[in-house]
Amino acid sequence: MTIDFHDTNNQTTYSTRDADQSWIQLITENINLLGKDVVDIGCGGGIYSKALAELNVNHVTAVDFSEEMLKGATKNCKDYNNISLIKGNAYHTKLPSYKYDFILERALIHHLDDLKACFDEANRLLKKNGILIVQDRTPEDCLLPGNDHHLRGYFLEMYPKLIKKETSRRYTSHEVKTALESAGFKVEKSVKLWETRRYYHNFESLREDLLLRTGRSILHELTDKELKLFVNFIETKLQHQTSFVEKDRWTVWFASKK
């Protein structure tokens, strides 16, 4: 069953880890965030809102359409006085026009049907020359084989039925670029990122994370029984290891408002 972002049980699914240095490095190498007003659309539990808030920005407006996600984010961001959490839809945030310097849309677009409408809204919010960063997995990213770090590849290896689900909900790089351009952006570049998702000190912590389906909406497509079998399968694959570093392959598009 597809993940329900409005279910209380999923309230903390996107808040139980911190953004990794691999992500922070990509952002800081490409954008000067000093004193900037930023928006994190589809903020989930605020993992990346917090990371941005620590990068000397002026203020982070974190937007999500799910009250449950925002409850999780409120707890996660409670120590940050430069983050505001706002209920809003990526298509119609109700935020003011031409006010923001930078927008992040991370792991959002594969949940949306209308890419152009989402980018139109981002364009409306940004000042001239403002930057939009879109981060998601393309079908190509999803289809990379599993290995000791890329556990998502094993999801698809064991359950080929997930291939269709993943590839049909993911946009190709060409589709993202075309939608950005038609919404009035100049695509400056797109890069591939192997982002460290999480370090696990033993298999038990990885097992728990997988069984809870934490932050992995694709695992909501499996039954509990299928998921348990998958965890056994992964344990066999990784049995020679004592600690685990999970990485995901992403595509990140940098676009500027013309």
Ligand X SMILES: C[S@@+](CC[C@H](N)C(=O)[O-])C[C@H]1O[C@@H](n2cnc3c(N)ncnc32)[C@H](O)[C@@H]1O
Contacts with ligand X, residue ranges (CB under 6 A): 5, 14, 42-44, 47-48, 64-66, 69, 89-90, 106-108, 111-112, 217
Residue 13: CB minimum distance to ligand X, A: 8
Residue placing its CB nearer to ligand X in the complex, 80 or 203: 80
| Cα distance between residue 142 and residue 172, in whole Å | 11
Residue placing its CB nearer to ligand X in the complex, 87 or 186: 87
Residue 224: CB minimum distance to ligand X, A: 21
Q: Are residues 190 and 252 in contact, defined by beta-carbon separation less than 8 angstroms?
A: yes
Q: Are residues 231 and 210 in contact, defined by beta-carbon separation less than 8 angstroms?
A: yes
Residue placing its CB nearer to ligand X in the complex, 104 or 156: 104
Residue placing its CB nearer to ligand X in the complex, 107 or 151: 107
Residue placing its CB nearer to ligand X in the complex, 66 or 257: 66
Q: Determine how β-strand 185-200 pairs with β-strand 100-106.
A: unpaired
Residue 214: CB minimum distance to ligand X, A: 11
| Cα distance between residue 143 and residue 154, in whole Å | 10
Residue 85: CB minimum distance to ligand X, A: 12
Residue 4: CB minimum distance to ligand X, A: 9
- Which residue in the shown chain puts its C-beta closest to ligand X? 44
Q: Are residues 20 and 199 in contact, defined by beta-carbon separation less than 8 angstroms?
A: no
